[in-house]
Structure formats: C-alpha cells, structure tokens
C-alpha cells in the first residue's frame, strides 16, 4: 500500500470546549468539539489530534467523555495526548475509541511508561511527543522500538529531519509554509494551527499538494471516465447507499464534470437533468453527502456510491427517497446486522417503557448483579452444549447468551455500533 503524507488538524479540549491553543482558552467555534471533529473528518483530514488540557481527575474523566464523542463522529482515526500521568490514562484514551495515545516526553512518568504501554497495547497505538532534539537523541533507541511516530515542533524538526526509522509528524503554525514542510521527504505529516481552522477545506489543500507532486491521500478513480458506458445524455446513473447501514438513499446522475468534482471535493456532486446544471448535494439544505467509496458495475454503466449522509437524502425530508411501499411479500429478514439491532432496540424499549410480565424488565429491575449472573450462566451453558454433537443445542445456547449480553449492553449504555467499531479497529 502506498505511503501518504498525513494532514492532521488538532482540537485543544478544555472544559468541554474547543479552545484556541495551549494557553489561549478562548472558544474557537460555537460547535461542540465532536461536531468540529466531524467537520474536519468530512472535509479531508486524514487523522485528528486531540490535546486534552484538563487538570485533575474529575476534569480528565469529563474530557474522556468528550473524546468518546469525537472518536464516534470524526470518521477518521483520532490520536490524543495531554494529561497522561499513568498507564490507566493511556487505557482510557484507547478505550474511548482513539487509534493511539501520545506520550509527552517532557514528563518523566511518560518517558518511563513508554516500553510498558507499547508492549501492553501495541507499538502502533503509541506516539511520542519530544520537546527538544536533545530529548529525542537520549531516547532515540527506545522511541524507535516502542513508538509508531514522533510528534515535534517545527524547530525541533529542523534539527531531526535527517533521521530515519520513525515517522515524524510536525506541529506547525505556519499556514503559508505548510505545503513546503509537507513536501520534505522525511516529513510524515503535519498538524497544528496550520491545518486547524474551523471550516477549512482540507481536500482543496491536499489537491494542491498532489498537483505539486506531494504524495497525499486524495480520491482517485482506478477507472477513467472515458471507459464508462454512458447513456444517451452522456451520463451514468448513481445508486447512493448509507456506508454504515447499506440503506439505499437515492438515485441520481453524473456527467464527467460531476464525477471529477466529486473526486476533487469528496462531496457527492451530480448533474441535474431538470435544471440542466451541476449540483452538489446539500449545498442549499445542508444535507451533504460525503463520499466514502465509488464502485463501478460489471457493465461499466452504473455507479454505486457509499456515503456519509448528513440529515435526509430526499427533498421531502425523508431519510431515503425510497419510502412508497408498493407490494411486499412476508419474509424473515435474517440479516445479522439488522437482527442484532432490532433485538437490541426492543430491549432498549423495554428499559425505557417497562411492560408487565416482561422477562427483560425483570432483569433490569433486579439490577446489574442479576444480569451478570445470567450472562455467566449462559456462557457456561455454551461450554456444556459445545461438548455435545448436536449443533442445534449450541445454536440455542449462543442465542440465549447473546440476548443476555444485549441486556447487559443496554444496562451499561453500550451499542452495537460501539462493538462493531471496536472490532473493526482490531
């Protein structure tokens, strides 16, 4: 896989707000931090760096809550540094959904825990911030062995840029010089205020970098437009799906200009046959579609787009344009994702709207100890069933176990999306 330079905007998190910097605690946007993170992710960021500026345990725990929301919505890998004092803090950051934690080598405790957290959580999940070139030289061998990348200032980078063996992410405030900095062969990526203005179109910056020969991750089609089979109007139909649920959202058309604009901006752009003009979905309504993937069918004449949909896809306000049911034959929908979510939704409904005689409500009323007891019992039943040759028995016991696990999930506020995101990360 080709190695790309990364563009990583940062969020300084203080008291639940995104502030301007380490010392300037003025709020930079009216958006909650998680929505600012989502905006960066949707507009071309490769990763997101969060600095936790909290002080003390209570404020730190609140920051971890914000971090979870940011990781949930950013849709790009999140790395986090700041207020790490012990191994448990690294665990909290990773369990919040972050791809990696940044150890600050200004702190002796962070330097001392490097090897242990790397072995415990994996080298790829640990980064190191080095405040001086001298500090890097003292710890160079350890950093190479136990950290996946080094975060440093531009001044420190000027001393270290001849080094190899570890990826350097450069923190810079210089917007004018950011492309030149990223172009250096030993620079793995940039972060800091130079790429962190709220609302900035980072895709446009990366397209510029690509035009300058800098290897950045932009959207490129593996098949040229000229190889598509077009209809009589010179267009191809595009079927649009939600990238998480596979729900079909709409059907639209693209000509070459719309196709190229979609790749350039990362936002779904179509050709309006009724208005005879180019239109980027959501530019008026705010219901933007951020492109996740484009797939060409076997005849090269239809595109399938998977998107992150903001709001409703349909101009009527419906989530999808396909809501007029014409005919339906009864059938069992055994799509695992849908079945798990449907059962979980029923359990949640019982929790919020108790029903007399409900076994689920009996479990909730008895509390966490009873739920855990049942989970343990059902787990044991699986072990016993697995020793028997009949698969029907183990099928039954696993189903029982999964139901009780879902009750536990509902009790603790864990969703299937939380679980699948964690599995995908692994």
In a domain, 326, yes or no: no
Give the whole-angstrom CA distance, residue 160 versus residue 425.
Answer: 31
CATH number at residue 385: 1.10.287.1080
In a domain, 322, yes or no: no
Q: Are 267 and 281 in contact (CB under 8 A)?
A: yes
The closest alpha carbon to 7, from 170, 198, 174, 199, belongs to: 170
Are residues 146 and 25 both part of a single domain? yes
Are residues 106 and 239 both part of a single domain? no
pLDDT > 90? residue 213:
yes
Q: What is the pLDDT at residue 60? A: 87
CATH number at residue 232: 3.10.20.810
Between 377 and 29, the more confident residue is: 377
Are residues 200 and 264 both part of a single domain? no
Contacts of 398 (CB under 8 A, 6+ apart): 382
Three-class DSSP category at 160: helix
Are residues 207 and 229 both part of a single domain? no
**Burial environment of residue 275 by CB neighbours within 10 A (0 to 12, 13 to 18, 19 or more):** exposed
Q: What is the mean pLDDT of residues 269-277?
A: 94
Q: What is the mean pLDDT of residues 291-298?
A: 96
> Among residues 262, 290, 309, which one ends one of the domains?
309
CATH number at residue 33: 3.20.20.70
pLDDT confidence band for 392 (50 / 70 / 90) = confident
Are residues 77 and 158 both part of a single domain? yes
pLDDT > 60? residue 1:
no
Contacts of 286-289 with C-beta under 8 Å, sequence gap 24+, read 286/310, 286/311, 287/311, 287/312, 287/313, 288/42, 289/240, 289/249, 289/313
In a domain, 321, yes or no: no
Are residues 102 and 144 both part of a single domain? yes
In a domain, 1, yes or no: no
pLDDT > 80? residue 425:
no
Q: Are 48 and 37 in contact (CB under 8 A)?
A: yes
Q: Are 375 and 401 in contact (CB under 8 A)?
A: yes
Give the whole-angstrom CA distance, residue 241 versus residue 243.
Answer: 6
CA distances from 81 to 74, 92, 268, 292, 370 (A): 17, 12, 34, 28, 38
Q: What is the mean pLDDT of residues 211-233?
A: 96
> Among residues 156, 177, 211, which one ends one of the domains?
211
Give the whole-angstrom CA distance, residue 78 versus residue 364.
Answer: 34
Are residues 239 and 196 both part of a single domain? no
Contacts of 393 (CB under 8 A, 6+ apart): 385
- Output Rg (C-alpha) for the chain, integer angstroms: 25
Residue-number span of the structural domain to which 303 is assigned = 225-309
CA distances from 147 to 1, 100, 111, 124 (A): 21, 10, 11, 7
pLDDT > 80? residue 426:
no
- Percentage, residues of the chain above pLDDT 70: 99
The domain total for the chain is 3
In a domain, 176, yes or no: yes
Q: What is the pLDDT at residue 90? A: 96
Q: What is the mean pLDDT of residues 109-138?
A: 96
pLDDT > 90? residue 376:
yes
Give the whole-angstrom CA distance, residue 128 versus residue 185.
Answer: 20
Which is it for the CA torsion 70, 72, 77, 81, positive or negative?
A: positive
In a domain, 191, yes or no: yes
Are residues 206 and 106 both part of a single domain? yes
The closest alpha carbon to 97, from 126, 120, 64, 122, belongs to: 64
Question: Taking all residues of the chain, what is their mean pLDDT, rounded to a whole number?
Answer: 93
Cα-to-chain-centroid distance, residue 206: 19
Are residues 154 and 199 both part of a single domain? yes
Are residues 285 and 421 both part of a single domain? no
In a domain, 251, yes or no: yes
pLDDT in tens, 163-199: 877 899 999 999 999 999 999 988 999 999 999 998 8
Length of the chain: 426
Give the whole-angstrom CA distance, residue 268 versus residue 254.
Answer: 10
pLDDT > 70? residue 18:
yes
> Among residues 183, 211, 239, which one ends one of the domains?
211
Longest CA span, the chain: 72
Between 59 and 128, the more confident residue is: 128
Are residues 163 and 236 both part of a single domain? no
Are residues 292 and 345 both part of a single domain? no
The closest alpha carbon to 288, from 9, 43, 11, 27, belongs to: 43
In a domain, 182, yes or no: yes
Please tell me the least confidently modeled range out of 53-62, 202-211, 279-288, 355-364.
53-62
Give the whole-angstrom CA distance, residue 373 versus residue 31.
Answer: 43
């Amino acid at each position: 896989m080709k190695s790309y330079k990364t563009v990583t905007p940062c969020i300084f998190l203080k008291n639940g707000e995104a502030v301007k910097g380490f010392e300037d605690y003025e709020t930079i946007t009216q958006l909650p931090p998680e929505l600012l993170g989502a905006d960066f992710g949707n507009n071309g960021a490769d990763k997101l760096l969060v600095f936790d500026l909290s002080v003390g345990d209570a404020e730190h725990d609140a920051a971890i809550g914000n971090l979870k929301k940011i990781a949930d919505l950013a849709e790009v890998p999140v790395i986090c540094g700041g207020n790490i004092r012990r191994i448990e803090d690294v665990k909290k950051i990773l369990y919040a959904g972050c791809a990696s934690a940044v150890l600050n080598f200004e702190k002796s405790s962070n330097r001392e825990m490097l090897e242990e957290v790397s072995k415990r959580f994996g080298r790829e999940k640990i980064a190191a911030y080095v405040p001086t070139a001298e500090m890097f030289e003292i710890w160079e061998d350890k950093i190479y062995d136990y950290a996946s990348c080094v975060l440093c200032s531009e001044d420190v980078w000027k001393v270290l840029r001849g080094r190899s063996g570890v990826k350097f992410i450069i923190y810079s405030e210089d917007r004018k010089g950011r492309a030149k900095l990223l172009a250096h062969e030993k620079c793995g990526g940039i972060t800091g205020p130079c790429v962190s203005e709220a609302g900035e179109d980072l895709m446009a910056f990366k397209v510029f970098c690509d035009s300058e020969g800098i290897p950045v991750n932009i959207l490129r089609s593996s098949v040229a437009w000229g190889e598509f089979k077009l209809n009589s109007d010179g267009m191809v139909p595009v079927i649009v799906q939600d990238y998480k649920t596979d729900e079909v959202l709409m059907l639209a058309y693209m000509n070459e200009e719309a196709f190229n604009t979609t790749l350039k901006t990362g936002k779904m752009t179509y050709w309006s046959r009724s208005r005879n003009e180019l239109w980027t979905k959501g530019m008026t309504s705010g219901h933007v579609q951020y492109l996740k993937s484009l797939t060409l069918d076997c005849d090269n004449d239809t595109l399938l787009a998977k998107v992150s949909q903001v709001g409703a896809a349909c101009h009527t306000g419906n989530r999808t344009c396909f809501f007029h049911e014409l005919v339906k034959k009864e059938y069992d929908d055994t799509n695992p994702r849908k079945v798990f979510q449907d059962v979980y939704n029923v359990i949640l409904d019982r929790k919020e709207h108790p029903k007399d005689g409900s076994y689920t409500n009996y479990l909730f009323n008895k509390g966490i100890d009873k739920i855990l007891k049942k989970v343990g019992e059902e787990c044991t039943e699986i072990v016993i069933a697995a020793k028997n040759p009949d698969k029907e028995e183990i099928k039954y016991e696993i189903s029982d176990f999964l139901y009780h696990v879902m009750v536990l999930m509902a009790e603790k506020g864990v969703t299937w999306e939380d679980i699948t995101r964690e599995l995908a990360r692994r």
